[in-house]
Structure 1
Amino acid sequence: MNGEAHEHAAASGLAVARSLLQAVLTQMANLPLAILLLVSLAFVPLGVGLALLPPVLFALRGLANQQRRWAAEWSGVEIVVPYRPRPENASGFGIVKWLLRDPATWRDMLWTVVNSVTGLVLAGLPAALVVYGLEGVLVAPWMPNVHTFGWGPFWPLSDYGLTGSVGSALLGSLMLLVGWQLGPSIMRAYAIVNRSMLGPTRGRLEERVRELTETRSETVDASAAELRRIERDLHDGAQARIVAVSMTIGLAEQLVKDDPEAAARLMAEARQASGTALTELRDLVRGIHPPVLAERGLDGGLRALALTLPMPVDVAVDVPGRAAPPVESAAYFAVAEMLANAAKHAEAARAWVDVRHNGSALVMIVGDDGRGGADPAAGGGMRGIERRLAAFDGTLAVTSPEGGPTVVTMELPCALSSPKT
């Protein structure tokens, strides 16, 4: 019981502190952002608002995303990020159109106005109850000339003779108890209110279901094609060589008494063929899940990959932990495909790889100084990688003007396990 009591006390204390933080934040961030939004929208017809809107809206998204994280971490209320993906190569007026055409942007605007009130009243309620409760218990009893808390809602207590020190102590204790006990529940209610405005709309959820259905279909097709490739490679490669080895050994067995030299030559051929078959099997396994990933992680795997290419590749990896094996495998093959394209098609003299974890996703940037012109819409390996990443809710963006350079940015949402040691 003592352990549970300590846990509840800690949760209540955190709820009160977070309540105070939210109340202050709404007045220092939400209210100024709401005013800036109104001013920016008002000046859009004059052109000035077009320059003001993007930074203000990005700041609003940052604040809304912080609220989403706090709702999940503090109250266990998950709020899905509803924003539409940014169009490739969007800049200038294109960014403004993308932002204003996203329904989530307008819901954020509504939220920042509403939250200026709900954040102060609802989120700040636990802190207000505790602060006023402490005042009633510790301050008001020593100020007999001051009526209980000095404000209206507690005047009816005078009808029962509960004025002055006694009334202040009783009311203070009650408010302190309510604020302390109900703090976590009030903060959860505030998170639920935020979810109603910051979460995806029904239309967005339906759109997301369609996206997931398409992604699932593409993933199934890609998996089927991969299985057919493995079957073909086994049948035409290693299996054929193993059959040939078996036949060669059979011939050697027949010749071992009559022509030992010929039998020895056949056994040497069989040994060479078995070594070739083993190499092909190893290559096939690497194509499914490279052993180097399990042994050395993504960092070591990419550095080993870079050494096999016919051009110098600069590799920088800053991933403080391990992603799930399927995610690491997808990341490895995505980078491998981009580097293969740089070597085979782009006629690049140098390439570079930068892989980092931004807290929620693996961000992989692969660039080369080749002739450019890469386009995922043309199909091929790049389109296959795009489908592979989509199975993990990943994205791929390509910047590749004619004449180069080519820069491919890929993101894979994932969490990391224990840090590297």
Structure 2
Amino acid sequence: MIDLSTARRHVLRSARAAGYCAAVSAHGVVLVVLVPVLVYSAVLCLVGVGLLVLPLELRLLRRLADAERTRLGRWTATPTTPAGPHPRSTLMAVLSDPAGRRDLRWAPCMAVAGTLLGFIGAAIFLLPAAVLVLICLWWLFPADDPIRPLLNVPIDGWGSAVYAGAPQLLLSLLLARFGPPLIARLAAASNRRLLAPSAAAALAERVTALDHTRTGAIKAHGDELRRIERDLHDGTQARLVSLAMQLGLAERTLGSDPAAVGPLLTRAREGAEEAMAELRDLLRSVYPPVLANRGLAGALSAVVARCPVPATAHLDELGPVPAQVEVAVYFAITEALTNAAKHSHARSASVTLARVDDTLRAEIIDDGRGGAAEGGGTGLRGMRRRVEAVDGVLRVQSPLGGPTVIIVECPCAS
């Protein structure tokens, strides 16, 4: 007996592979046009015109390559980080980018092999439908048409059409079952080999990324120390100085006017309570006690419940998470929800927190007006520093008109 769930899983797997092949073929067709244009623009650099247009074309190539890197990550379930836009627009800066050289190596191969492999993979998946159509439309072909005799069996009715077409339909189903996944894996392996950095390049990029995050972590740590020092100096220290003055005045007044000591002690007690409240707020900004008491999931449930914007939370089982990662993710989500209410004017928001292998992934979405930028005073720069300080990644997608999507990914391996 055929297991329907297994058959459905095989069909979905082949359909997904065929979809990947179709996307590869579509990109290949675009590159069939773009590669000659790149060559022509490179020749025009001899007369100076290409120096103006070639960087624009290389940025377009980077977008295509990054789209393939993203698609590779989804298809192979292996994280493949896009290279991102070129940092500068000058031709020499673009050509000196190692990822740009990999893009140029990938483009002609994708234009030829990608177009061919992608087309074959998508066509094989559609082959059973084509055979079925031919069987059902046997009567459209003349009797002497070479298509009409299937397996050398004359087709003169439905019975002979089904009898002769069934083996071909079965063969096409087998090809559609195994062909697209095989071709998709071949195309993905080729694209990954061409687009992914070598071991040495990956190590160099990793060192550069670590140097960047280390610099950001040191700066974030310095900013945090200065903030704590400022809060202590301007708030708590001033309260304690006032408290000492009130107690000293009460001590001097005690012998001459005991009745006036009571109000002084009352003000001193109020000052001490205010100082303790400020110290508690300062400690919460360093490591919120709710994280120690309820864990990250419980703390975020409380944050979502108190959010001014109607918000929902989807929190999976997280397992053990390092304390520094908990703090970074907690403050990032808190800041994102604050932005949704204060700057984005959102009507609703959602928070999704899950652990995928050794990566903690948070996604915050709001339906506000969008347009969030790190230089816009929305706290995104501080969020990025906190996340990068724990070797994490923060991505912001906020087109004008919304929605705003903030993704935080932090390694949480013990």
Q: Please state which band the TM-score falls in when normalised by the shorter chain.
A: 0.5 to 0.7
Structure 1 residues 112 and 227 mapped into 2: Cα distance closer, same or farther (>3 Å)?
closer
- Residues 270-320 of structure 1 show CA distances to partners (whole Å, capped at 9, x for unaligned) of 134225415643763686589999745547746999xxxxxxxxx567798
Q: What corresponds to 2:201 in structure 1?
A: 204
Q: CA deviation at 1:215?
A: 3.7
SS at match of 1:415: strand
CA distance in 2, matches of 1:12, 1:185: 9
Q: 1:323 to 1:85 in 2, by over 3 A?
A: farther
Q: State which of 91, 108, 116 in structure 1 corresponds to 2:111.
A: 116
Q: Are 1:105 and 2:100 an aligned pair?
A: yes
Q: Distance in 2 between matches of 1:320 and 1:109?
A: 43
- Which residue matches 1:375? none
Consecutive unaligned residues of structure 2, counting only runs of 5 or more, are 156-160, 289-301, 309-333, 354-359, 363-367, 396-403, 410-414
Aligned length: 333
Task: Say if 1:79 and 1:198, in contact at 8 Å, map to a contact too.
Answer: no
Q: Secondary structure at the match of 2:79?
A: coil
Equivalent residue number for residue 82 of structure 1? 83
1:105, CA displacement in angstroms? 2.0
- CA contact 1:24–1:120 (8 Å) conserved in 2: yes
Alignment partners' CA distance in 2, 1:104 and 1:272: 62
Closer/same/farther in 2, CA of residues 119 and 163 from structure 1, 3 Å limit: farther
Q: Which residue of 1 aligns with 2:170?
A: 173
Letter in 2 for 1:177: L
Q: Contact 1:22/1:120 (CA < 8 Å) preserved in 2?
A: yes
1:366 counterpart residue number: 376
Is 1:38 paired with 2:39?
yes
The 8 Å contact of residues 68 and 78 in structure 1, kept in 2 or not, is answered as no
Match in the other structure for 2:326: none
Please report how far the alpha carbon of residue 109 of structure 1 lies from its aligned counterpart in structure 2 after TM superposition: 2.2
Distance 1:327 1:181 in 2: 34
Indicate the RMSD between aligned Cα atoms, in angstroms.
5.2
* C-alpha contact 1:136 1:171 (8 A) present in aligned 2: yes
- Matched position secondary structure for 2:376: strand
Residue of structure 2 equivalent to 1:372: none
TM-score of the pair, normalised by structure 1: 0.59
CA 1:147–1:163: 2 relative to 1, 3 Å: farther
The residue number in structure 2 matching 1:274 is 272
Letter in 1 for 2:124: L
The one-letter amino acid of 1:116's match is A
- Cα contact 2:335–2:383 (8 A) shared by 1: no
CA deviation after TM superposition for structure 1 residue 168, in Å: 6.0
**Partner in structure 2 of residue 127 of structure 1:** 122
> Which amino acid in the other structure matches residue 99 of structure 1?
V
Q: TM-score w.r.t. structure 2 length?
A: 0.60
**Alignment CA distance shift 1:207-1:116 (3 Å):** same
1:393–1:413 Cα contact (<8 Å) kept: no
Match of 2:320 in 1: none
Structure-2 change in CA distance of 1:320 and 1:148 (3 Å): farther
Partner of 1:263, secondary structure, is helix
Q: Which residue of 1, 5, 8 corresponds with 1:6? A: 8
Matches of 1:119 and 1:211, distance apart in 2: 32
* DSSP-derived class of the 1:86 partner: coil
> Structure 1 116/177 Cα, relative in aligned 2: closer, same or farther at 3 Å?
same
Contact 2:216-2:385 at 8 Å conserved across structures: yes
The aligned residue for residue 262 of structure 1 is 260
- Alpha-carbon distance change, 203 to 239 in structure 1, aligned in 2, over 3 angstroms: same
How far did 1:45 drift? 0.4
1:115 is displaced (CA, Å) by 1.1
